[in-house]
Amino acid sequence: MNQSMSAEKIPSANSTGAPYVAGNFAPLKSEVTAFDLEVIGRVPEELNGRFLRIGPNPIDELDRVQLVRHHWFAGSGMAHGLRLHGGEADWFRSRFVLDRDAARVLSRKPIPGPGEGTRDGNVNTSLMNVGGKLCAVVEAGSIPVELDYELSSVRRTDFDGTLEAGFTGHPKFDPVAGVHHALAYEPFQPIRYISVDGDGRATTKARIDLPHIPLIHDMAFTQGFIVVPDFPVTFQPELSHTDFPWLWDERRASRIGLLPRDGDVSAIQWFEVPRCFAFHFVNAYDEGDLTIVDLARHERMFHTDQNGPNEGAPVLVRWTFHRPSGHVSETVIDDRGIEFPRINGRHAGLPYRYAYTAFWGDDVAFGPAMKHDMTRGTTEVHDYGAGMMTSEPVFVRKPGAAAEDEGWVLSYVYDPKRDLSDVVILDAQDFACEPVATIRLPVRVPFGFHGGWAPDKVTVVE
């Protein structure tokens, strides 16, 4: 964008990224290491590992012109982690993910690895353990960055040369097959369905050519299919005034493809669905001739606000696909505004009952956490207190659990009165009641995207 661009020429009603660097969207200025954390209540002794989170944390000071171009999804990543062990909160750390921008601004030596100068941009969206290594990941081009146990950047990785281009910001672990599934998109590349095995090696199982480049943040899978979203948010750099040029496309319908798990693109079955956008799927599974897909449905995206996902409150819906007829039906499960859905990971791709979400209201407003009974269509709410705002709630299964909801729900929760964050641990079976434990952090953890629980003795981030 020309720096002389006037406000009248900016093609968006909300034409600045300023809200996405204010309040708890604002980046941290420096890395953090803290010990001797205050604990209210009692940390379950079975929780031995790290509760991780990551999000964008722009490292440059942004002037007015840069704010016009700024998008919430942009900026160097910052990884946050709370280490729990033996009923104690051992430490909390925040570390920059050392992409080329962060290395330059911090005057640090760039990390090694493939993709230098081409795929070494911001990595800020999620974390995955693959092949026994923790990696920060992002969509649309840059390759993953391997982190050590204390969240420092080690190197860029293309999974030992098996990743043919960029990756995704939202891989999904399949507990039956023991692999991660991913859909990757980026400019001028086909959509790629990628499987990453337990040794950390990637296989591109399908390349899907579309007449446009849709934004595909997340995906879902069943035991028979990969769920391929094709929503009307497409790559339109000629119309964008931000650094993330995916915009609402009035020319496009919404559709879902069911791709056989073997990657046979010729057998993909497309279904037209209500015109909308979805960042996140809750889960999906097959039931005879039906495929059930649950998701957080936004009416549209990047239409009136190009700088962030500010198009109203999304709702929790279920789409039921009847494969023989091609018919699709929709059921609204909860219409109060939800996002960042999580489940008990052992039920991914399988029939399940419970989902956990964060409130998402108008103007990207966060709030309480919710537990949804997908069978009964009911919702429990945990209100953390006046003004308190949860990030993505993560379910952690109790050792030896029999029931699907036998576990804890962990969240990073922001308190605007103190301008600090806590980690709050709830009993998932006593969801609306008092927390099991609250760990006070010495800083706030900015609103970001994803994370999870990384047990010390297993190799997946749940």
C-alpha distances in angstroms, 442 versus 24, 33, 95, 272?
14, 9, 14, 48
Region of 452 (left: φ > 0; alpha: ψ -120 to 50; beta: rest) is: left
pTM of the model: 0.95
Domain spans of the chain, in order of start? 7-455
C-alpha distances in angstroms, 321 versus 175, 300, 359?
23, 22, 27
pLDDT at 262 over 80: yes
C-alpha distances in angstroms, 296 versus 163, 197, 345, 358, 392?
29, 28, 18, 11, 13
pLDDT band at 10 (very low <50, low <70, confident <90, very high): very low
pLDDT by residue (tens digit) across 207-225? 999 999 999 999 999 999 9
pLDDT by residue (tens digit) across 22-78? 999 999 999 999 999 999 999 999 999 999 999 999 998 888 889 999 999 999 999
pLDDT at 129 over 90: yes
Region of 333 (left: φ > 0; alpha: ψ -120 to 50; beta: rest) is: alpha
Are 167 and 181 in contact by the 8 Å Cβ rule? The answer is: no
C-alpha distances in angstroms, 125 versus 16, 72, 143, 218?
21, 11, 12, 11
Q: Which two tokens stand for residue 45?
A: 């002794």
For the chain, the average pLDDT equals 95
Residue 433, C-beta contacts closer than 8 angstroms, at least 6 positions apart: 427
pLDDT band at 386 (very low <50, low <70, confident <90, very high): very high
Three-class SS state of 270: strand
pLDDT at 7 over 50: no
Nearest-angstrom CA–CA distance, 221 and 177:
12
Residues above pLDDT 90, as percent of the chain: 94
C-alpha distances in angstroms, 151 versus 91, 98, 108, 133, 318?
12, 11, 16, 11, 37
Domain 7-455 has CATH 2.130.10: yes
pLDDT band at 458 (very low <50, low <70, confident <90, very high): low
Mean pLDDT in residue range 418-422? 98
Mean pLDDT in residue range 315-325? 98
pLDDT by residue (tens digit) across 264-305? 999 999 999 999 999 999 999 999 999 999 999 999 999 999
pLDDT at 254 over 80: yes
Alpha-carbon 235 to chain mean position? 20
Please tell me the predicted confidence (pLDDT) of residue 124. 98
Radius of gyration of the chain (CA): 21
Residue by residue, DSSP assigns 307-356 as SSS-SS--EEEEEEEETTTTEEEEEEEE-S-EEEEE--GGGTTS---EEE
pLDDT at 13 over 70: no
Burial class (CB in 10 A: 0-12, 13-18, 19+), 278: buried
Please tell me the predicted confidence (pLDDT) of residue 424. 98
Nearest 5°: the CA angle 115, 118, 122 is 90
Are 258 and 227 in contact by the 8 Å Cβ rule? The answer is: yes
Q: Which two tokens stand for residue 454?
A: 């990384």
pLDDT band at 460 (very low <50, low <70, confident <90, very high): low
Please tell me the predicted confidence (pLDDT) of residue 127. 98
Please tell me the predicted confidence (pLDDT) of residue 63. 87
pLDDT at 2 over 70: no
Mean pLDDT in residue range 238-257? 95
